[in-house]
Amino acid sequence: MREVALDIRGLGLILYSPPAVAHIPEGADYLRSDFWNPADVARHVMECQLTAFATGSPGSFRFRFTEGLPDEAAVQAAAFKLRLGLHVRSGTICVRDLYDLMEWSAECPAPQQLRAADGWYRLTVFSSPPPSGILGDGQVVEVALERVSHKPALQWEGVPPLHS
C-alpha cells in the first residue's frame, strides 16, 4: 500500500501518467480550455489517460493506493464508490489537485508520484465521510489498482462524483 496525503484547493483530483499530459503547454489553463465542461471531463475519463473524480469538497485527503482486486466488502460498506480506468505509461502515476490544471506545470511533485507497471488498470475508488462528517477533513480515499488486459469499458456523461 502507498499513501499520498494531499491538501486540495479544488473540488477534485486528477490521475495520469506523464505521457498522457505531454501535450499540455506549461502555464496553460487546461481546466478552462479542455476540462471544464462535464462532457469534456467524461471524454477524458473514458479515454483512461487523464482521469478525474470530484471529491465534493476541497480539504485534506489521504489517498491510499493498493494493487490488486479491491476488498468488495469494504467497497460495499463505503458511502461513496466509483470505477475508473487508467493507462499507466513510463511506470508512473501522478496524483494531483484538479486545480493544478489552471496553471499547468508538467512537474509532478515526487510525494505525489506512484510507481506502477505499465499497462491498463481498473480503479475502484471508495470512501466514506470522516469521523467529523465534513468531507475533506482528513478523509481517507481508497484506490484499488487492478491490472487488466485492455482499456476498461466506462460510461460517464459528466464528472465522476465521489460524494453524494
Please compute the mean of the pLDDT values over residues 84-95 and round it to a whole number: 98
This prediction's pTM = 0.95
Q: Please write the tens of the pLDDT for every residue from 20-78.
A: 999 999 999 999 999 999 999 999 999 999 999 999 999 999 999 999 999 999 999 99
Query: Could you tell me if 78 and 7 are in contact, meaning their C-beta atoms sit under 8 angstroms apart?
Result: no
CA 46 to CA 41: how far, in whole Å?
A: 9
pLDDT of 164 above 80:
no
User: Which pLDDT value is given to residue 157?
Assistant: 87
Q: Which amino acid is at 26?
A: E
| Backbone φ, ψ for residue 67 (5° rounding) | -100, 140
Helix (H, G, I), strand (E, B) or coil at 45: helix
- CA nearest 144: which of 87, 85, 90? 85
Q: Where are the domains of the chain?
A: 2-148
- CA atoms within 13 A of residue 117's CA, in its CB half-sphere: 10
CA 124 to CA 36: how far, in whole Å?
A: 24
Please compute the mean of the pLDDT values over residues 96-110 and round it to a whole number: 97
Query: Could you tell me if 106 and 26 are in contact, meaning their C-beta atoms sit under 8 angstroms apart?
Result: yes
User: Which pLDDT value is given to residue 55?
Assistant: 94
CATH number among 3.40.630.30, 3.40.1350.10, 2.60.120.10, 2.60.34.30, domain 2-148 = 2.60.34.30
Beta strands of the chain (E only): which ranges? 2-8, 12-16, 50-54, 59-67, 80-88, 92-97, 113-115, 119-127, 137-148
Cell of 139: 478523509
Cell of 19: 505521457
User: Which pLDDT value is given to residue 60?
Assistant: 98
Q: Please write the tens of the pLDDT for every residue from 126-138.
A: 999 999 999 999 9
Specify the range with the lowest mean pLDDT, choosing from 15-19, 34-38, 119-123.
34-38
